[in-house]
Amino acid sequence: MLILVALAAIYCAGAGTVLVRFGIRSWRHQASLQPRMQAVLLTDAMKAGIERSLMEFGAFHYFLGAVIVVVGSLKAAGIMGGGHRLPSVLLAFVLLCLLGGVILTSWTAIAIILFNRPRFLVPPHLRHQPGTMSRRGRGSTQRKAAASGLRPGR
Protein backbone atom coordinates (compact mmCIF):
# COMPACT_ATOMS: atom_id res chain seq x y z
CA MET A 1 0.00 0.00 0.00
CA LEU A 2 2.73 2.45 0.92
CA ILE A 3 4.54 1.69 -2.34
CA LEU A 4 1.50 2.76 -4.35
CA VAL A 5 1.13 5.88 -2.23
CA ALA A 6 4.81 6.72 -2.77
CA LEU A 7 4.55 6.14 -6.54
CA ALA A 8 1.43 8.31 -6.80
CA ALA A 9 3.08 11.04 -4.75
CA ILE A 10 6.22 10.93 -6.90
CA TYR A 11 4.10 11.14 -10.05
CA CYS A 12 2.12 14.11 -8.70
CA ALA A 13 5.28 15.92 -7.58
CA GLY A 14 7.00 15.31 -10.93
CA ALA A 15 4.00 16.31 -13.04
CA GLY A 16 3.38 19.37 -10.87
CA THR A 17 6.99 20.45 -11.20
CA VAL A 18 7.01 20.04 -14.98
CA LEU A 19 3.74 21.96 -15.36
CA VAL A 20 4.85 24.78 -13.06
CA ARG A 21 8.19 25.07 -14.87
CA PHE A 22 6.43 25.31 -18.24
CA GLY A 23 4.02 27.85 -16.74
CA ILE A 24 6.89 29.97 -15.41
CA ARG A 25 8.58 29.80 -18.80
CA SER A 26 5.36 30.95 -20.42
CA TRP A 27 5.01 33.88 -17.97
CA ARG A 28 8.62 35.05 -18.20
CA HIS A 29 9.70 34.31 -21.73
CA GLN A 30 6.38 34.06 -23.57
CA ALA A 31 7.35 30.55 -24.64
CA SER A 32 4.64 28.55 -26.38
CA LEU A 33 3.92 24.84 -26.05
CA GLN A 34 2.18 24.64 -29.42
CA PRO A 35 5.07 22.82 -31.16
CA ARG A 36 5.17 20.21 -28.38
CA MET A 37 1.41 19.66 -28.45
CA GLN A 38 1.17 18.60 -32.10
CA ALA A 39 0.46 14.95 -31.24
CA VAL A 40 -2.20 15.73 -28.64
CA LEU A 41 -5.67 14.90 -29.93
CA LEU A 42 -7.49 18.04 -28.82
CA THR A 43 -8.92 21.02 -30.63
CA ASP A 44 -6.73 24.08 -31.03
CA ALA A 45 -8.91 26.00 -28.57
CA MET A 46 -8.46 23.30 -25.91
CA LYS A 47 -4.69 23.24 -26.48
CA ALA A 48 -4.58 27.01 -26.04
CA GLY A 49 -6.70 26.73 -22.89
CA ILE A 50 -4.39 24.13 -21.39
CA GLU A 51 -1.42 26.34 -22.22
CA ARG A 52 -3.09 29.24 -20.38
CA SER A 53 -3.69 27.15 -17.24
CA LEU A 54 -0.38 25.31 -16.77
CA MET A 55 0.36 26.89 -13.39
CA GLU A 56 -3.07 25.94 -12.04
CA PHE A 57 -2.68 22.34 -13.21
CA GLY A 58 0.74 22.23 -11.52
CA ALA A 59 -0.74 23.48 -8.25
CA PHE A 60 -3.55 20.92 -8.63
CA HIS A 61 -0.99 18.12 -8.86
CA TYR A 62 0.81 19.36 -5.75
CA PHE A 63 -2.42 19.47 -3.73
CA LEU A 64 -3.51 16.07 -5.03
CA GLY A 65 -0.14 14.54 -4.15
CA ALA A 66 -0.37 15.95 -0.63
CA VAL A 67 -3.87 14.49 -0.20
CA ILE A 68 -2.65 11.10 -1.41
CA VAL A 69 0.31 11.15 1.00
CA VAL A 70 -1.75 12.22 4.03
CA VAL A 71 -4.61 9.79 3.44
CA GLY A 72 -2.26 6.92 2.52
CA SER A 73 -0.12 7.50 5.59
CA LEU A 74 -3.14 7.64 7.87
CA LYS A 75 -4.55 4.48 6.35
CA ALA A 76 -1.23 2.66 6.73
CA ALA A 77 -1.00 3.78 10.36
CA GLY A 78 -4.50 2.47 11.04
CA ILE A 79 -5.92 5.88 11.89
CA MET A 80 -8.29 6.02 8.91
CA GLY A 81 -10.43 3.35 7.35
CA GLY A 82 -10.46 0.89 10.22
CA GLY A 83 -12.91 2.76 12.38
CA HIS A 84 -10.48 2.59 15.30
CA ARG A 85 -9.86 6.23 16.07
CA LEU A 86 -11.14 9.47 14.72
CA PRO A 87 -8.53 11.86 13.34
CA SER A 88 -7.81 14.90 15.45
CA VAL A 89 -9.34 18.26 14.69
CA LEU A 90 -6.01 19.54 13.32
CA LEU A 91 -5.69 16.59 10.98
CA ALA A 92 -9.25 17.03 9.77
CA PHE A 93 -8.54 20.73 9.17
CA VAL A 94 -5.40 19.89 7.16
CA LEU A 95 -7.32 17.39 5.03
CA LEU A 96 -10.12 19.89 4.49
CA CYS A 97 -7.64 22.56 3.39
CA LEU A 98 -5.91 20.15 1.00
CA LEU A 99 -9.22 19.03 -0.50
CA GLY A 100 -10.23 22.67 -0.82
CA GLY A 101 -6.98 23.32 -2.69
CA VAL A 102 -7.67 20.42 -5.06
CA ILE A 103 -11.18 21.70 -5.77
CA LEU A 104 -10.15 25.35 -6.08
CA THR A 105 -7.25 24.71 -8.47
CA SER A 106 -9.22 22.30 -10.64
CA TRP A 107 -12.18 24.67 -11.01
CA THR A 108 -9.86 27.60 -11.65
CA ALA A 109 -8.10 25.66 -14.41
CA ILE A 110 -11.46 24.73 -15.93
CA ALA A 111 -12.61 28.37 -15.81
CA ILE A 112 -9.42 29.51 -17.53
CA ILE A 113 -9.78 26.90 -20.26
CA LEU A 114 -13.47 27.56 -20.90
CA PHE A 115 -13.77 31.31 -20.30
CA ASN A 116 -10.19 32.67 -19.91
CA ARG A 117 -11.16 34.02 -16.50
CA PRO A 118 -9.75 35.14 -14.01
CA ARG A 119 -7.39 37.02 -16.28
CA PHE A 120 -4.82 37.85 -13.60
CA LEU A 121 -3.95 34.12 -13.44
CA VAL A 122 -3.37 33.89 -17.20
CA PRO A 123 0.08 34.72 -18.64
CA PRO A 124 0.00 38.33 -19.94
CA HIS A 125 0.67 37.43 -23.58
CA LEU A 126 -2.28 34.99 -23.59
CA ARG A 127 -4.91 37.21 -21.95
CA HIS A 128 -6.30 38.39 -25.29
CA GLN A 129 -7.37 34.88 -26.31
CA PRO A 130 -11.02 33.94 -26.02
CA GLY A 131 -11.92 30.92 -23.92
CA THR A 132 -13.30 27.83 -25.58
CA MET A 133 -16.82 28.74 -24.43
CA SER A 134 -16.61 32.54 -24.57
CA ARG A 135 -18.96 34.57 -26.72
CA ARG A 136 -16.11 35.97 -28.81
CA GLY A 137 -15.00 32.49 -29.83
CA ARG A 138 -18.49 31.22 -30.69
CA GLY A 139 -19.88 34.47 -32.03
CA SER A 140 -17.18 34.90 -34.63
CA THR A 141 -18.15 31.67 -36.39
CA GLN A 142 -21.82 32.58 -36.19
CA ARG A 143 -21.13 36.02 -37.70
CA LYS A 144 -19.11 34.45 -40.53
CA ALA A 145 -21.95 32.03 -41.26
CA ALA A 146 -24.52 34.84 -41.22
CA ALA A 147 -22.35 36.95 -43.53
CA SER A 148 -22.15 34.11 -46.01
CA GLY A 149 -25.94 33.65 -46.02
CA LEU A 150 -25.96 30.38 -44.08
CA ARG A 151 -27.80 29.88 -40.82
CA PRO A 152 -25.58 29.26 -37.80
CA GLY A 153 -25.46 25.67 -36.64
CA ARG A 154 -25.93 24.13 -40.11
What does the pLDDT average to over 36-54? 87
Cα(131)–Cα(112) distance, rounded to whole angstroms? 7
CB of 9 within 8 A of CB of 68?
yes
Question: Which is higher by pLDDT, 127 or 89?
Answer: 127
* Residue 90, pLDDT score: 84
What does the pLDDT average to over 66-78? 89
Q: Is the pLDDT of residue 97 over 70?
A: yes
Looking at 105-109, 114-118, 144-148, which range is the least confident one?
Answer: 144-148
Mean pLDDT of the chain: 85
Q: Name the DSSP letter for residue 118.
A: S
Cα(24)–Cα(151) distance, rounded to whole angstroms? 43
Burial of 19 (0-12, 13-18, 19+ CB in 10 A): buried
What does the pLDDT average to over 5-11? 97
* Residue 75, pLDDT score: 85
What does the pLDDT average to over 100-121? 96
Cα(33)–Cα(9) distance, rounded to whole angstroms? 25
CA dihedral 139, 140, 144, 150 (to 10 degrees): -20
What does the pLDDT average to over 99-109? 98
Give the confidence band of 139 by pLDDT, cuts at 50, 70, 90. Answer: very low
* Residue 30, pLDDT score: 86
For 105, half-sphere exposure in the C-beta direction (CA atoms, 13 angstrom radius) is: 20
For 130, half-sphere exposure in the C-beta direction (CA atoms, 13 angstrom radius) is: 10
